[in-house]
Structure 1
Amino acid sequence: MKNKILLLLCISLSQLTFAQKSAYVPKDKALYDTIAHMDSVMFNAFNTHDIAVLEKVFATDVEFYNDGGGVTDYATTMKNFKAMFEWNKATGLRRELVSGSLEVYPMPGFGAIEVGEHRFIHKENGKEEVAQMKFVQVWRWKDGVWQATRVISIGH
């Protein structure tokens, strides 16, 4: 099952990369709105360094793929967030979704796939630094709760 999801993500991402850009229209507006809300919950928690919310938003079986840091599980992902928050107490580290980049695709019987671009911004040596990256998140709807089960962060 895990390999099928990863294959689907890779195919989807490659199609998005090579396809001619056309205006994105969500197949399911209510699902789009729900996942956009979950994205904001996740990253409001990131921006406020609220580890308790992040622990709930990420599934305990999450796999976090980062082209700059490898693959991590839930425990390591949470440990990495805590270290990042500690390291960036004074830098103003925050995440902003790139306007118009969010796309949401239904995954019947499981949840949804979210694709987009975001910026991570912080101050370093008195200067604002900005890094823009692409991401893919697989959201699972289970027992009335949305959780991120797979995260792919690209462009480090």
Structure 2
Amino acid sequence: MLRKIWVPILLVVLCYSQAKAQNTDHLTAINSVWAKFYNAFETLDYTLMAEIHSKDLVRVSGGNRILDYDTYINNYKAGFERDKKAGQTSNISLRFFERLCDGNTSSERGIYRLVRNKDTDNEQSYYGQFHVIMKKIDGEWKITMDYDSSESDTIGEDDYNKAFAIDDFDKF
């Protein structure tokens, strides 16, 4: 009788542990995309943005416009070049309240903080909510849909702090 009870329990525990390990592996791989994303802002290198986005990208910005890959990347190219000439700096960080992944597609939702001119008298912070869909394309994770909005400037530091750190895999 005990064997009949313990075998199913053991199978559930083993399957859960395996699923958790696979999810952690997927999120670790996805975080390498986010590392390039962070680096693109820190170095003002639009080519890193081009690398991590799918050519079939759908970009929704602030709920008021939809962009394709070429327009989106060209906007970063122009913006990063303008920032370099002006001596502007940018640092971006993400915190998450949802990270779902099945191994081929991920849905990542959370709050971003963009800090311009960090540690200067001109430092400014901007916050917004994002939703990104990634797909594994030719063995690499690529951003295929990217939506963000400040929700009419209602997203702020409190929202950012309530979300979970990028490496806090236990929450997902």
Q: Give the TM-score, by structure 1 length.
A: 0.72
The structure 2 residue matched to 1:97, chosen from 94, 97, 112, is 94
CA distance in 2, matches of 1:149, 1:121: 25
Q: Does 1:73 align with 2:68?
A: yes
Gaps in structure 2 of 5+ consecutive residues: 1-19, 154-172
The structure 1 residue matched to 2:108, chosen from 96, 105, 114, is 114
Residue of structure 1 in register with 2:38 after alignment: 43
Q: Does 1:148 align with 2:104?
A: no
Partner amino acid for 1:119? R
Deviation at 1:27, TM superposition (A): 8.1
C-alpha distance 128-68 of structure 1, shift in aligned 2 (>3 A)? farther
RMSD: 2.5
For these two proteins, the number of residue pairs brought into alignment is 129
Deviation at 1:42, TM superposition (A): 1.9
Q: Deviations over 1:44-99 (max 9, x none)?
A: 1232122222212110010111116511001100111012112222121221224x
Matched-pair identity in %: 22
Q: Does 1:123 align with 2:107?
A: no
CA distance in 1, matches of 2:69, 2:113: 23
C-alpha distance 94-143 of structure 1, shift in aligned 2 (>3 A)? same
C-alpha distance 103-31 of structure 1, shift in aligned 2 (>3 A)? farther
- Higher-helix-fraction structure: 2
Deviation at 1:126, TM superposition (A): 3.6
Q: Does 1:56 align with 2:80?
A: no
C-alpha distance 102-47 of structure 1, shift in aligned 2 (>3 A)? farther
Deviation at 1:107, TM superposition (A): 4.2
